[in-house]
């Protein structure tokens, strides 16, 4: 079964969100917002998160649910940390929330759900 267009869009958007966050981390390091340790920790986290879009693209149903959980945690952390964020971090975080909603919507549409739960036919 071919990957539905919605899943493909979600995977591309997920890669894009990771890339934007990595670029933000570089910016924060260059401008002195992040220390060396914070920067390295952020890059390590983004490297680990690269597993999610890969697993989504190879039809991992559990990756969809892990993504929802991680997204919810990020939104809650964003809301809780609004006062401590620098303006650039806040703007990027606020722009990313609708993107995350779009990704989750596309991953849980009927066509996507059917694709993720379909059994392999040999």
Q: Nearest to residue 85, comparing CAs of 97, 72, 94?
A: 94
Residue 73 to residue 71: CA distance in whole angstroms: 5
State the pLDDT at residue 122: 47
110 is written with which tokens? 């009927």
Is the pLDDT higher at 115 or at 78? 115
pLDDT band, residue 83 (cuts 50/70/90): confident
Is the pLDDT higher at 82 or at 62? 62
Please say if the pLDDT value at position 1 is more than 60: yes
Task: Based on DSSP, count helices (H) and strands (E) in the chain, helices before strands.
Answer: 6, 0
Is the pLDDT higher at 81 or at 29? 29
pLDDT band, residue 78 (cuts 50/70/90): confident
Residue 93 to residue 122: CA distance in whole angstroms: 44
Do 45 and 37 form a contact (C-beta atoms < 8 A)? no
Alpha helical stretches, state H, the chain = 5-30, 36-49, 51-57, 61-80, 87-107, 110-117
Please say if the pLDDT value at position 121 is more than 70: no
State the pLDDT at residue 52: 96
């Amino acid at each position: 079964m071919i990957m539905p267009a919605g899943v493909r869009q979600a995977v591309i958007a997920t890669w894009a969100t990771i890339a934007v966050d990595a670029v933000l981390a570089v910016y924060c390091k260059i401008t002195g917002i992040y220390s060396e340790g914070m920067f390295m920790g952020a890059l390590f986290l983004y490297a680990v998160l690269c597993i999610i879009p890969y697993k989504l693209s190879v039809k991992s149903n559990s990756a969809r649910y892990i993504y929802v959980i991680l997204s919810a945690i990020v939104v809650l952390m964003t809301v809780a940390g609004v006062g401590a964020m620098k303006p650039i971090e806040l703007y990027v975080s606020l722009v990313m929330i609708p993107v995350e909603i779009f990704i989750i919507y596309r991953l849980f549409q009927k066509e996507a759900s059917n694709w993720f739960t379909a059994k392999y036919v040999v």
